Amino acid sequence: MFSGYFIVSALSLAVDWSLFWLLVSVVRVDAGLSASMAYLIGGVVNYALSRRFVFRSDANGRRQVGEALLFAASCGLGSLLTGGIVHVAAPLLGNVAAKWIAVAVSFVALYWMRRVVVFRKPAEAEGLAELEEASVESTVR
């Protein structure tokens, strides 16, 4: 699963970097803002590919809406994380180095979040609830 996520992330990163370069170099938008906007567009690509090829989500109806909203929230977090890192680090290290640092940090943080929170299977969620319930019961006794 992790290797598939790596490939999907590389494809969405290509979209992200292309848009980042365009916004910073051609349009002359602030590097932090450019990083955030490019990250969000890359996130749309990542969701579409991750859902189908990495996590093989079969969610539909309300569950799919919930999944999409959680993924959007993870993109919002990733965008803030990426934009913040680039905004702070770019004046010190340059746009490219700052962006690579942000990519590495967000890749690890968001893989975990998406694996554990966004694309968890209903059985996993039930198993976690049962585990928590058993833990509470054993603590009370």
- Whether the CB-CB separation of 59 and 71 falls below 8 Å is answered with no
Q: Residue 26: which pLDDT band, with cuts at 50, 70 and 90?
A: very high
Let me know if 78 is exposed, middle or buried by CB neighbors in 10 A (0-12, 13-18, 19+): buried
**43 pLDDT above the threshold of 80:** yes
Report the share of the chain in percent with pLDDT over 70.
85
Query: CA-CA distance, 41 to 24, in Å (whole number)?
Result: 15
Segment 84-126, tens digit of pLDDT: 999 999 999 999 999 899 989 988 888 888 888 888 876 655 5
